[in-house]
Structures are given as C-alpha cells and as structure tokens.
A and B are shown apart, each in its own frame.
Chain A
Amino acid sequence: METNRHRHAVSCILPPYILDRLATHKDPAIRRAAVAAIALSKIARMRRARATAQPVAPPPAKPKRRLVYDARHGEWAALPGKLVRSEGDPEAADPAVNEAYDQAGTTYDFYFEVFKRNSLDNAGLPLISSVHFGKNYDNAFWSGEQMVYGDGDGVVFVSFTRALDVVAHELTHGVVSHECDLVYQDEPGALNEHFADVFGILTKQWKGKIAAEKADWLIGADIMGPQPEATAKNRARGLRTFKDEPAFEDNPYLGTDPQPKRLRDKYTGHDDNGGVHLNSGIPNCAFYRVATALGGAAWNAPGAIWYETLKALNPQSGFAEMVTTTVDSATKLFGAGSNEARAVAAAWKAVGF
C-alpha cells in the first residue's frame, strides 16, 4: 500500500528532472516508485499526444538517457536495485553493467539512425536496465517499465547482457508496447515476439554491418553457455533461428528446437500464452526469406517494411493481417510490383500463406 501511494504521488506531481533524481535515491521504495513513474509519465504523454490527433512532428535529436541498476541477486522486491551507471558515467568495474549500458545505447542508436525514432516511445524515454536479477536466473525480460537481466546458470546460458540481439529484443518489446501494443497471446503474441526478434537481429546486423546473406540469423548465440554434456553436433549455437531449419537438435539440455517454420505446423496448444515463442518462427522465416531475396543490408528495405507494418497493426492483429499489411507497406514504400513488394508476397507464400 505504501509503495502504491508513492507511485501515485510520484507519477502525478513531479517533473521529469525530479523523477530522474529520485531514481537515484537511497531508499529502494522511492527508487522503484520513481522508475515506475518515469515510464508511466512517458506513456501518459504519448496517450495525450495521440488523443489530440495533431500531426506528428519529427522527433528532436535528443541524447539517449541510460540508467543501469544492480539488483544484487534480489528478485521482484529488489527492482530496480542500486543505481550503478548513468548516462555519461565512466565504465563500471562490473562487465554486466557495461554490457547493459552499451547494448542499450547501440539499440537506441539503431532505432534513431535507421528509423529516426527517439527511444522506445519516440519521445526520449530513459532506458532503464537492472542486471544481476535473481540467482543464476536464466532469463531476460521487459517488465513493462524496464529491462531486467539474469546472469544465466553458467552451463546452458551465460549472462543475458552479453548479447546485443537479446537486449534489442527486450527493448523492442517496449517499442511494440508504444506502437500497436500487440496482446501477448496466440497470434498477436507471436507477432509481438516476432517483431522483438526481427529488430533484435537487425540491431546486431546493423552494428556489425553484416549483409543478409552473410548473417547467421541466430537469436541468442552470444548467451549460450559451455553446455559440457553437448557434442559438437548437438550443441545449441543459438536459441532460435530465422532460417528454415532447427537451431538445435537432440541437445542434452534443450532437446530439439520446436519452432515451426510453416503455417501448417502452427502450435495450437495453450502453453506459453498460446505458443508466442513458438509460432514467431513462422513470420521469422518469412522475414528471413524477404531479407535474403533482396540481399544486402536487411535493416534497409526489409527493416523499413516491417517498421511501417509495426506502426500500422493493432493489438489484436494476427498473421493474416500481418501478411496483408507487410505487402501494403512494401507497396507504399517501394511501389506496386517492386522487387520489395514481390519478395514480401513470395516469402509469405513460401511459409504457407
């Protein structure tokens, strides 16, 4: 109750610079409230802007703002943790802190330079990360307000901050929530995961200047641990692949990659919110086909088509709407009958639409 009162009061009254200051306060309850309020105030600002239906001006060139906290192996009650690095601070001694800071910065730069987007909300939302969540925690997630990273178990997974595509994936969940806000269930949920994977892999390719035909198209390659019981043949090189093949087979820890790559193989059960991490494999494979058909930098034409689509969908959009919207976006951006529009249509057809 006390925390809720803090949150309410903080989010309603205080200007952003005070919230930024409170986000570094010594009292953890106040820090948590301030971090939540920063996120809520941005969302409220965005909603107000939408409600007024004014023409959208290009975002100002605003410097990125990153805050990295150390959860010190605590869990929910520990978030966000102790502030250990703010924008412009020198490197910390802790590699996870610097990785979270640097990867968030690269993701910000990717969105700004490729799509002229100013942070997750296109209005300069601070990028808040907490590292060292839990003990040997095998996960990274977007809480709705910030990114949270575990250290991994050291066997199957290492620290989740190590991988740029993982960090960009989590941040893209924030972008999705500020755009079409796809619900996290069934086909809309699979598309939510798909967009996170697409812009995650594109951030990595953009950073490395890797052309589509040269890229590995693996998600999570840099967080895979030593897997001592695996052989050279069944070692998992990544968690997912955009390619029309499994990312791993008969792995002693993970089994065989279950992601479908064709509509006919779509998972229809209830696990994992209706298979949001499974069925994303189908549109992922379509994106890979578009990118490799067009060749070169996938963040250019394919990225632009998918970004335009992300802004055009709605929370309930499913696969059928995704197909038509990407074709419409390609036509709008490159023209009817263009190579880009034909590549998009052909890719969807190849995966069963």
Chain B
Amino acid sequence: MTGATPRGDYRISLVRQGGFAGTSVTHEADSRNLCDAEAATLRFLIEASGLTSGAPDVRAPLAAAGRDLFSWEITVDGPVETYRTTVREDAMGPVLSRLVAFVRR
C-alpha cells in the first residue's frame, strides 16, 4: 500500500493483446466516475496488486511455452505518477486477476 493517499484517485487502462485473434481490446476505469464503494474497491485493488509499488502481483507463467495467450498492458495514472506494466494472462497473481475482472466488469 504505497503511492496514493486513501482519497487518491486512479485512472486505469487495460489493453488486452494477442490471443488467437491478435486484436486489441481496451477497458478503462476512473475512480472519479465511480460510486464511493466502487472507487474504494478500485483503489484497494490497484494498491494491493502492487502496481503502484513496483512489485506487481505476478507469478511464473503457468504455460511458459504457450502460444496465442492473451497479455495485458496495464497503465495506472495515480495522483503522483503513472505506472505501466505488461503481464501475460497465465502469469497474473490472484489480486491482479481480481483487478482485471473488476475493471472489465
């Protein structure tokens, strides 16, 4: 839990790349446009996922020799800095997976 203050606002962009189709799909969320409960969830998941502390919730890929897997380019605009990382779907930890599911929803 670093980076933003509890009231800090975040904007997050997820770009899904690759897959069999090879097309890009973008999902975005902005805490300023969410209700209080959802904004709090977004803040919690962003900070708990380690994206803002430089230690994103990733693991060794479960399908290291995989082909046609999705990867996610994640960009977080925080109150102070912008954080960016790219992670393959099979390397996402549970918190990062929850964050992606939350934003996609």
- Residues of A participating in the B interface, judged by any CB pair closer than 8 Å: 76, 138-145, 157, 160, 166, 169-170, 173, 177, 184, 192-193, 196, 220, 239-240, 254-255, 271-273, 276-278
| B97 to chain A: closest residue by CB | A75
A76, B90: Cβ atoms under 8 Å?
A: yes
| A-contact 0/1 string along B52-74, CB 8 Å cutoff | 00000000001111111111010
Residues of B within 8 A of A (CB): 15, 17-24, 62-71, 73, 90
Q: Is the interface of B mostly helix, strand, loop or mixed?
A: loop
Given known pairs A220-B20, A273-B18, A277-B18, the reply for A170 and B68 (CB within 8 Å) is yes
Among residues of A, the one whose C-beta sits closest to the C-beta of B25 is A138
With a cutoff of 8 Å between Cβ atoms, the chain A residues found around residue B17 in the complex are 271-272
Bound: A142/B70 CA distance, A: 12
**Can you list 11 residue pairs at the A/B interface with Cβ under 8 Å?**
A141-B67, A144-B66, A160-B20, A170-B67, A173-B67, A192-B67, A239-B22, A271-B15, A272-B17, A273-B71, A277-B18
Instruction: Tell me if A141 and B68 are in contact (CB < 8 A).
Output: yes
Chain B hits for A173, CB < 8 A: 67-68
* Residues on A with beta carbons closer than 8 Å to the beta carbon of B71: 272-273
Q: Which of B63, B73, B90 has the most CB of A within 10 A?
A: B63
B21–A220 touching, CB < 8 Å = yes
Find the B residue at minimum CB distance from A184. B67
A277 pairs with B66, CB closer than 8 A: no
A140 contacts which of B23, B62, B63, B68 (Cβ < 8 Å)? B68
When chains A and B are docked, how far (Å) is the Cα of A269 from the Cα of B64?
A: 22
Q: Which residues of A contact B62 (CB under 8 A)?
A: 76, 143
Which residue from A144, A239, A277 sits with its C-beta under 8 Å from B64? A144
B15, closest chain A residue (CB) = A271
Within 8 Å CB of A145, what residues of B? 63, 65
A184 partner residues in chain B, CB cutoff 8 A: 67
Partner of B19, one of A139, A177, A196: A139
In the complex the two chains form, what is the Cα distance from A85 to B18 in whole Å? 30
